[in-house]
Structure 1
């Protein structure tokens, strides 16, 4: 299992969770990570290329990592290689696919922005993926885009899994907040999550005057700008930035609802994890994923994509209509049982032809 790291993102959480499931089902698991950042629980052996690094990260340093990686795949006779990484460096990926990977390759696609995985140069794409046995999309929306933009007919959808028992256990940890709040979660390294517009939509809603706060989990270079925006709206007492937290699930469980305002997604784990904690969701019908998770007006509200006025109205509906809210809350947990690690893991074992 090859990942950028075992921390922070949905693809990485998927890799770590699957590794535990595979290990329990008598599969020998090895991980390769590129960045020295390991926070998620995982099973199996770990090759951390991020530790083969000096301060300069120069040419010879990178060359040494390639040597270690090549020897690793030469020394081990793997049945499958699962690659969870984006493919930003096209010629590097060509070299890895042709000269390093020594087993049947399965590539997972976790973003609707498939240019992160498939070079625009079709010939180069064909070279990189010529030895790929399967392309696994984590949503039907991504699969449709792959099928319409590439020549590959062997793509299929396997959703990201969740460990419902684990989530239920850790979501019950002691929690200190004694006020009502809604929750938003995501990285602040770019503006994909559109927290700036979410803050404005929240400011225009009825939530502040009803003492329902907005809690934002996550970190990144845009955080200082967002803090400044909150001051502009004079909402310092109503909007709180909690940064990166070790256990987001207790935040989900105690939230009134979770909100997602992204430009695009792959298969947003934020929505699944919130619903697994029994908390309804409000999300744009963005590309892709939310409409494969949210049953509109049943476990949450699916909002017309990028219509921030309707996003505000949906926030209001959740706090105004108690009967509607309780209906969504009651349906939250049952709606995501189909994403359990037992069900999704079985689909992977079937792919491996393991009974």
Structure 2
């Protein structure tokens, strides 16, 4: 008799745009390649990333506007799918901030096969806004997976869970390097690059544009390219026009393959005020470019070694960030020296390394 495949449910809000979603995407593909039966359960019908295995898309059942009846319908569909499929493990990539929703799921859907993942130091996004509930929500879960050591320590200190483990976000380095060799629209220009969602002010792209306007870079004809989409994008467009920087600051939107643009940049600049474990920094290192980043909570300090593979700037010191931007853009010798250390750092986070930790967990 052939051995039954282990069945894994990967639960997410979407398969698009974000770091957690990209990890969901990559893990689905690699678990399927390892012989697992993978099911992707999505809350919203938003898919831009590839995936491995079966797709169960609750987003196609979502009504326009708020409807309690529709929410209840989708809850029942989700519960029935989990219960009838008999999954060996359920790995949850969603944000989980709504107390009532999470109580229903924990009481009537999930069991000891459940593995929540935590992707930000803003723990209320994953343990709900209720501290008491957060301390009891995941008592029966098999393991709580955090994407950085700093987040894991914060979870232990805040909620007193013991079954907490760090598994870093993986990246497929060989695939990234292959994709990075494609042509791109900024060839022939000298530029620096940033990347992230524009759905909130977490990435602080408005502050980055303001810094760029006061830096030496425009006078040196070094452009700023910011990749991403979101509801704040138009505000950034207006800001660029106000500073008369349309010729120098570019917002090309979401790029399915950003890696050629990364590879062609002088460096990657990261101005976030909050992170979990920013996979985009690993992707930049895999493209062999240095990084300048705030030492924000959490993640950058577990990736960047100051003046080895980039510059780690005191958190929210914008003047220091501007100085580093000027120095690394104009000091070619320093930039080339730091560049030599980027790829070797990235290999510690390669999918072939990190997936072994997932496979050990799922035995």
Return the TM-score normalized by structure 1.
0.96
SS at match of 2:56: strand
The superposition leaves residues 10-45 of structure 1 with CA deviations (integer Å, 9 ceiling, x where unpaired) of 001101101111111111111100010111111111
Alpha-carbon distance between aligned partners in 1 of 2:234 and 2:46, rounded to the nearest angstrom? 24
Say which is worse superposed, 168-177 or 12-21, in terms of deviation.
168-177
> Which of 212, 220, 225 is the aligned partner of 2:222?
212
Q: Note if 1:109 corresponds to 2:110.
A: no
Q: Note if 1:99 corresponds to 2:108.
A: yes
Partner of 2:304: 294
> Which of 307, 311, 324 is the aligned partner of 2:321?
311
Partner of 1:275: 285
**Per-residue deviation at 1:146?**
0.7
Contact 1:167 1:249 in 2 (8 A): yes
CA gap 1:285/1:310 in 2 versus in 1, 3 angstroms: same
SS at match of 1:199: helix
Partner of 2:259: 249
Alpha-carbon distance between aligned partners in 1 of 2:93 and 2:211, rounded to the nearest angstrom? 34
* Structure 1 unaligned blocks of 5 or more: none
SS at match of 1:176: coil
Alpha-carbon distance between aligned partners in 1 of 2:202 and 2:176, rounded to the nearest angstrom? 26
**Per-residue deviation at 1:339?**
0.6
Alpha-carbon distance between aligned partners in 2 of 1:118 and 1:71, rounded to the nearest angstrom? 24
Alpha-carbon distance between aligned partners in 1 of 2:204 and 2:231, rounded to the nearest angstrom? 13
Alpha-carbon distance between aligned partners in 1 of 2:324 and 2:72, rounded to the nearest angstrom? 52
- Aligned-pair Cα RMSD in Å: 1.3
* Structure 2 unaligned blocks of 5 or more: 1-9
Alpha-carbon distance between aligned partners in 2 of 1:120 and 1:5, rounded to the nearest angstrom? 22
Q: Note if 1:118 corresponds to 2:127.
A: yes
> Which of 12, 33, 36 is the aligned partner of 2:45?
36
Contact 1:106 1:136 in 2 (8 A): yes
Say which is worse superposed, 112-121 or 63-72, in terms of deviation.
112-121
Partner of 1:238: 248
Contact 1:94 1:127 in 2 (8 A): no
Return the TM-score normalized by structure 2.
0.94
CA gap 1:248/1:216 in 2 versus in 1, 3 angstroms: same
SS at match of 1:107: strand
Alpha-carbon distance between aligned partners in 1 of 2:124 and 2:19, rounded to the nearest angstrom? 18
Map 1:36-115; keep pairs closer than 5 Å.
Answer: 36-102=45-111, 104-115=113-124
